[in-house]
Structure 1
Amino acid sequence: MDQKDERWFDKYHPYLVMVLIALFAGGIGGMLGYHGAMHEKVSQERLCAINLTSSDGAIVVGIFEDVKRSMVHIESSRTNISGIKHPFPINGTGSGFVIEFNGSRYILTNEHVITEADDLRVTLFDGTRVEAELLGSDPMTDIAVIRAELPDYIPPLTLGDSDRILPGQLAIAIGNPYALDNTITLGIISGLDRTITTESGYTVHGVIQTDAAINPGNSGGPLLNARGEVIGINSAIMPFAEGIGFAIPINTAKNVSSEIIKHGKVIRPWIGITGVDLTPELAKMAGVDLDGGVLIVDVFEGGPADEAGLRGSGSHLGEENFEPGDIIIGFDGKQIRTMDELINAILQHEVGDEVEIVYIRDGTRMKADVRLMERPGGI
């Protein structure tokens, strides 16, 4: 190094050190930035729900443009003959959307949209009307599958994973409320694992709560996330409560719809009883010291419980000479405190499984082996 070079080095040495430090720090920062970007990518949907800007609005517009071709307007009619001398048709309306299963396209909707329908018609996004037929329905989950001849230009929607959603994430509801085709409303996931009662009287667990407006006619339409994936089926609103809507999780719909498409119905195990939660009042009437259980009200003749020797109540609840039936307190090694717990325990099994039921009869603890049968239709 000559004298000139030494003078240059002495002059710029401090700056070279700073540059090297900056490059080193930048490398570390780059690595941290990479991990931060990955975290940001994972959190993007949640941030979108919290920080709705004009660009987020563009995202929603884009999603709507992508999915609107897969939306359908469902019209149903049934004949009302109860107590009427001259029967007349009752028309219903709702929403649905196209899905794909094993290379074929179907329409997914709510069971209560098509219940008891004699005739089904589907209107596509471009106004085309086609006849449709009910492939099968499941009142226990309020899900139905419709089959129709769909043009090739109608794509299926992408189904997401409802087990991965979180409160606060963006929620987009699309449907046909009050016959206003392709109406879109925006909100967030307000809560998870809610419980609702369907119009058929069944209890559905694990339901999604959203504040995206769901109105009559929205039923059967999709609830979407910020990627345009279906995370639920818009199903119900809470009467007289603003901003509280419910959707059946899409993971539930996947399982149920695949059963319907393959078998025309959902095959579920069944023990053949009707029962009620054992309340303190019922426990007192039955003369038992229990803080939970299922009191058997009726046993279906020829059903699994009947064949295993279980008994229902000998008289109606509340009657002075009330004779309590057996009280189920255990199922397949699990403690049973409510009817919901019993149903959930049964649904963990398959038709043909043999399970042990623990019950109380006349104050005595007893056991019975029960072989589960297929749940009959209409029960």
Structure 2
Amino acid sequence: MLRNTRSLVIRILLAILIGTASIFFAFILIHWTNSISEDKRHKELAEVLKGVVESEGVEGLLSISGVPVANIFHGEDGLILFEGEQKAWVYSADEKQNISVYENVNKSVVHITTIAEAQVNAFMDVLPAQGTGSGIILSSDGYILTNAHVVEKAASLKVGLYNNRTYSAKLVGIDNEDDLAVIKINVEKDVVLYPITLGTSEELKIGQKVIAIGNPFGYDRTMTVGVVSGLNRPVRTSDGKIIMNAIQTDASINPGNSGGPLLNGRGEVIGINSTIYSTTGSSQGMNFAIPIDTAIAVIPDLIKLGKVSRGWLDLAAVQLSPQLVAYAKLSVDKGVLVSQVVNGGFADKAGIKGGAQMVQYGSSVIYLGGDIITGVNGEVVEDLNDLYLALLPLRSGQKARVTVNRKGETKQMDVELIERTAQHVSALVR
């Protein structure tokens, strides 16, 4: 009897154990199956959401999720979301960015007033002519960057600061070719100067927001906002100067803004506002700034030497066009044709060859058969702007390694550079 009872207990325990194990394994199987199904659904959902982001952006995804968003700011570190209805916020993300830039930068912008003895009336009295412009503080010891055309004809200079104090300034260095100048003021020890932050113009994108601060028509530290409308523009100013590689913007620029900063969204200077295209004398949405990289390259020379002596090749260069390539049956379709070299000059002595076949090219006469410049110091040269940029860092007296294509054969020559003049740059703009 005891044996039968023990056997029954064992059978019951085994049944319970087997049943428990079966239930456990069934639960595991169901959970595993559900996990596979859930993972599949997640992947399918991820693909759908990815498509929404690609077609409608982050805004569309947030709208589907039911998150009310008033504004979105896209930054380098991700996204900043202004949730809720627009009325819940005093400032949008874009407005807060503008306010922050102005508060951080406006004390670094100065108001420049010039006096020039340039007019004589009917009684032979000399009448002082007054001009106005803008500038940016480069250092705490008083160096200021502005446009050359703002200060070049001035008999005296005055600089107004954020604190409404005005100081006499002296011209330190001028670069008429790039329309840049450095002036200097001396202030009391208790006056703090706020140097501006210089950025770079190399990575600008068309459509990128830009901010201009200056003194249009004498209104101190006025701020306007726009976008980069174009890049690498060759611009001829009203007084005949050529600005190469200019930044085009629609941020409103008017007389008095010249010499002021063009800023990115971080408040870094990416250009120096210089000129406008206008039929009325006021802004019509086509304004141009000198790239800050150009300014950075010349500021040390302007402060130390008072001028800049840039290098150039002593030859006549012609940009290739499809028509010219076809007519001359050239072996390359990109580069700069050497029409002529100065007899006995540096390019001639280095072995660069000019052309011998004279032809009419538009309103000019050029010579075919010469070398085609395709590179300078390892930089590819496809057009005249590339040649300008490749020679930009070099000074007269230095040597440049010039790569040419001569009837299908590549050759390299070290050429000593002459000093670049405004006439050389003017020839690049036709």
TM-score higher than 0.5? yes
Superposition RMSD on alpha carbons, in Å?
Answer: 4.4
Matched, 1:329 2:372: yes
Relative to structure 1, the CA distance from residue 274 to residue 53 in structure 2 (aligned partners, 3 Å threshold; closer, same or farther) is farther
Matched, 1:344 2:383: no
In structure 2, C-alpha distance between the alignment counterparts of 1:251 and 1:45, rounded to whole Å: 30
- The equivalences for 1:185-200 within 5 A come to 185-187=224-226, 189-191=227-229, 193-199=231-237, 200=240
Using the TM superposition, give the Cα deviation of residue 221 of structure 1 relative to its aligned residue in structure 2, in angstroms: 0.8
In structure 1, C-alpha distance between the alignment counterparts of 2:335 and 2:287, rounded to whole Å: 32
Secondary structure at the counterpart of residue 248 of structure 1: strand
Q: Which residue among 348, 358, 366 is the counterpart of 2:404?
A: 358
Residue 73 of structure 1 is matched in structure 2 by 111
Relative to structure 1, the CA distance from residue 335 to residue 249 in structure 2 (aligned partners, 3 Å threshold; closer, same or farther) is closer
Using the TM superposition, give the Cα deviation of residue 111 of structure 1 relative to its aligned residue in structure 2, in angstroms: 2.5
1:71-98 Cα deviation digits (max 9, x unpaired): 21122344559xx996865543211111
In structure 2, C-alpha distance between the alignment counterparts of 1:233 and 1:46, rounded to whole Å: 33
Instruction: Indicate conservation of the 8 Å contact 2:320/2:334, yes or no.
Output: yes
Relative to structure 1, the CA distance from residue 315 to residue 131 in structure 2 (aligned partners, 3 Å threshold; closer, same or farther) is farther
In structure 1, C-alpha distance between the alignment counterparts of 2:137 and 2:259, rounded to whole Å: 11
Q: Percent identity?
A: 36
1:233-256 Cα deviation digits (max 9, x unpaired): 222333358433333333332222
Q: TM-score, normalised by structure 2?
A: 0.61
Matched, 1:182 2:225: no
Secondary structure at the counterpart of residue 54 of structure 1: coil
Instruction: Indicate conservation of the 8 Å contact 1:294/1:327, yes or no.
Output: no
Residue 42 of structure 1 is matched in structure 2 by 77
User: Size of the alignment, in residue pairs?
Assistant: 330
Instruction: Indicate conservation of the 8 Å contact 1:177/1:183, yes or no.
Output: yes
Q: Which residue among 167, 186, 194 is the counterpart of 1:155?
A: 194
Residue 17 of structure 1 is matched in structure 2 by none
Using the TM superposition, give the Cα deviation of residue 203 of structure 1 relative to its aligned residue in structure 2, in angstroms: 4.3
Using the TM superposition, give the Cα deviation of residue 45 of structure 1 relative to its aligned residue in structure 2, in angstroms: 8.9
Matched, 1:243 2:281: no
- The equivalences for 1:1-379 within 5 A come to 42-43=77-78, 54-56=91-93, 57=95, 59-78=97-116, 80=118, 90-100=129-139, 104-151=141-188, 152-163=191-202, 166-187=205-226, 189-191=227-229, 193-199=231-237, 200-205=240-245, 207-239=246-278, 242-279=284-321, 288-290=328-330, 291=333, 293-296=335-338, 299=341, 303-308=345-350, 324=367, 327-330=370-373, 331-332=375-376, 336-347=381-392, 351-356=397-402, 358=404, 369-375=413-419
Relative to structure 1, the CA distance from residue 177 to residue 277 in structure 2 (aligned partners, 3 Å threshold; closer, same or farther) is same
Which residue identity lines up with residue 60 of structure 1 in the other structure?
A: N
1:99-122 Cα deviation digits (max 9, x unpaired): 12xx64311112232234443332
Instruction: Indicate conservation of the 8 Å contact 1:328/1:357, yes or no.
Output: no
Using the TM superposition, give the Cα deviation of residue 327 of structure 1 relative to its aligned residue in structure 2, in angstroms: 3.5
In structure 2, C-alpha distance between the alignment counterparts of 1:78 and 1:316, rounded to whole Å: 48
Secondary structure at the counterpart of residue 214 of structure 1: coil
Which residue identity lines up with residue 355 of structure 1 in the other structure?
A: R
Residue 5 of structure 2 is matched in structure 1 by none
Instruction: Indicate conservation of the 8 Å contact 2:277/2:287, yes or no.
Output: yes
Using the TM superposition, give the Cα deviation of residue 62 of structure 1 relative to its aligned residue in structure 2, in angstroms: 4.7
Relative to structure 1, the CA distance from residue 264 to residue 292 in structure 2 (aligned partners, 3 Å threshold; closer, same or farther) is same
Relative to structure 1, the CA distance from residue 244 to residue 108 in structure 2 (aligned partners, 3 Å threshold; closer, same or farther) is same
Relative to structure 1, the CA distance from residue 328 to residue 69 in structure 2 (aligned partners, 3 Å threshold; closer, same or farther) is same
Secondary structure at the counterpart of residue 215 of structure 1: coil
- Which one is further off, 154-163 or 315-324? 315-324
Using the TM superposition, give the Cα deviation of residue 305 of structure 1 relative to its aligned residue in structure 2, in angstroms: 2.2
In structure 2, C-alpha distance between the alignment counterparts of 1:79 and 1:329, rounded to whole Å: 49
Unpaired segments ≥5 residues, structure 1: 1-38
In structure 1, C-alpha distance between the alignment counterparts of 2:357 and 2:266, rounded to whole Å: 56
Relative to structure 1, the CA distance from residue 45 to residue 236 in structure 2 (aligned partners, 3 Å threshold; closer, same or farther) is farther
Q: Comparing both chains, which one has the higher relative contact order based on Cα–Cα distances under 8 Å and sequence gaps of 6 or more?
A: 1
Which residue identity lines up with residue 318 of structure 2 in the other structure?
A: V
In structure 1, C-alpha distance between the alignment counterparts of 2:380 and 2:208, rounded to whole Å: 36
In structure 1, C-alpha distance between the alignment counterparts of 2:123 and 2:343, rounded to whole Å: 36
